[in-house]
Amino acid sequence: MKLLFATNNPNKLKEVQAKLPQYEIVSLQELGITEEIPETGTTLEENALIKARYLYQKFQLDCFADDTGLEIESLNNEPGVFSARYAGNEKSAEANMEKVLTKLKGKTNRKARFRTAIALIQGGNERVVEGIVNGKIIEEKRGNGGFGYDPIFVADGHDETFAQLSLDIKNKIGHRGLAVDELVKCL
């Protein structure tokens, strides 16, 4: 079965393909869509639906889209829906991490969670599922894998950052992997 995935992020695509080997996952790039789909929602769920609806209206094919946010308790759940652009519209992972680490300097409460919302449109029917992983923000970056905030996030029950974990382990315990597990139940 072919499913369109509203992403041009090769890291997200790799994570999802690893979880759904029985499906042909097609990215925006493979369809020749290089422009970014506007994320004008105020929640992760709204943004995921906006992207999925855009893709479904354009191609009339089953599709899904995700939006992910890092929510840090002591920062009033920032960066949240603004995670990708936290330090500016250039979407720099390094600048985003530096902003988080700067804002957390001197704070003892470093509890955080990653949350992913996935909107699926299949046969015109819409569903939204979610994956959440709780953890904490450490004081300095560790690891070379992953992407985004992975080098500063450690999931509860683990000692390594998401950037230090293998893709297989991250997919089992991570927010996107958990959301994809929920997506599979809908397919």
What is the CATH number for 92?
3.90.950.10
Structural domains of the chain, count? 1
Average pLDDT rounded to a whole number, residues 138-148: 93
**pLDDT at 19 (0 to 100):** 85
Give me the domain span that covers residue 168: 2-186
Predicted local confidence at residue 151, as pLDDT: 97
The closest of 23, 70, 15 to 187, measured between CA atoms, is 23
Q: How far apart are CA 126 and CA 49, in angstroms?
A: 8
What's the average model confidence in pLDDT over 82-106?
95
* Burial of residue 133 (number of CB atoms within 10 Å: 0-12, 13-18, 19+): buried
Please give the pLDDT value at position 54. 93
pLDDT in tens, 41-52: 999 999 999 999
pLDDT of 25 above 90:
yes
| The predicted structure's pLDDT at residue 124 | 93
Helix axes 175-186, 10-19, angle to 10 degrees: 50
Residues 6 or more apart in contact with residue 65 via CB below 8 angstroms = 5, 6, 7, 37, 47, 48, 49, 50, 51, 52, 55, 118, 119
Banded pLDDT at 36 (limits 50, 70, 90): confident
The rounded percent of the chain whose pLDDT value lies above 90 is: 76
The two tokens of residue 1 are 């079965």
| One-letter amino acid of 37 | I
Residue 183 pLDDT > 90, yes or no? yes
Say which amino acid occupies 173. I
Q: Environment class of residue 159 by beta-carbon count within 10 Å: exposed (0-12), middle (13-18) or buried (19+)?
A: exposed
Gap between the Cα atoms of 171 and 154, Å rounded: 14
If one counts every other C-beta atom within 10 angstroms of the C-beta of residue 98, the result is 15
Residue 66 annotated in active site? no
Q: What is the mean pLDDT of the chain?
A: 94
DSSP string, 12-70: HHHHHHHH-TTSEEEETGGGT--SPPP---SSHHHHHHHHHHHHHHHH-S-EEEEEEEE
The single residue of 62, 67, 156, 181 carrying the catalytic annotation is: 67
| pTM > 0.85 | yes
